[in-house]
Amino acid sequence: MPPTISAFWNKLNSNEKMVMYGAIIVVIAFVIGLVGSYGFGSASSDLIAAIAITVIYWLKYSPNKINWPAPVQTIVVVIAGIAAIFAILAAVTAIGLLFGFGLYGIGLIVNAVGTGVMAWFAYKEYQAMPKATPPAA
């Protein structure tokens, strides 16, 4: 692994690493869907979500400090949650229509698993973030 990527990976906590594993699974699902449909990949929007989450984590740990509009955990859990909803709907539709379990169908299922992993561990990271204390009375 290149030193830059290795240094980035070492900065991630355990939940963030699991979110990144989910993003890797989504990329693999996109490639499977691309091969299975002869040029039209499944999970295009989820691929964009996985890339967005990767960029957010990369910027979070970059030396330049960014003034985020919301906590990073909140941004990531929203992106991952929306991607998971679309992935699960696509997988259920494919199964409901008996689309078949060719490579395209397998890509949809793998995509649902990957976005589920991203969403679950993003949610765990969101739950672990320090909560703001209410103002004193």
pLDDT digits (tens, 9 = 90+) for 1-39: 678 888 899 999 999 999 999 999 988 888 887 777 655
In a domain, 35, yes or no: yes
97-133, pLDDT tens digit by residue? 655 566 777 777 888 889 999 999 999 999 988 876 6
Evaluate whether residue 134 is within a structural domain.
no
> Which of 90, 74, 76 shows the shortest CA–CA distance to 118?
76
Q: Which backbone phi and psi does 129 adopt, to 5 degrees?
A: -70, 150
User: Does residue 137 sit within a domain?
Assistant: no
Structural domain count of the chain: 1
pTM of the full structure: 0.78
Whether 95 is in a domain gets the answer yes
Q: How many helices (H) and strands (E) does the chain have?
A: 5, 0
In a domain, 68, yes or no: yes
Q: Do 116 and 22 contact (CB within 8 A), yes or no?
A: yes
Residue 133 in domain: no
Q: Is 53 a domain residue?
A: yes
* Contact between 113 and 21 (Cβ < 8 Å): no
Residues contacting residue 49 through CB under 8 Å, at least 6 positions apart:
26, 79, 80, 82, 83, 115, 118
In a domain, 136, yes or no: no
Tracing tokens 């989504």 back to the chain, one arrives at 26
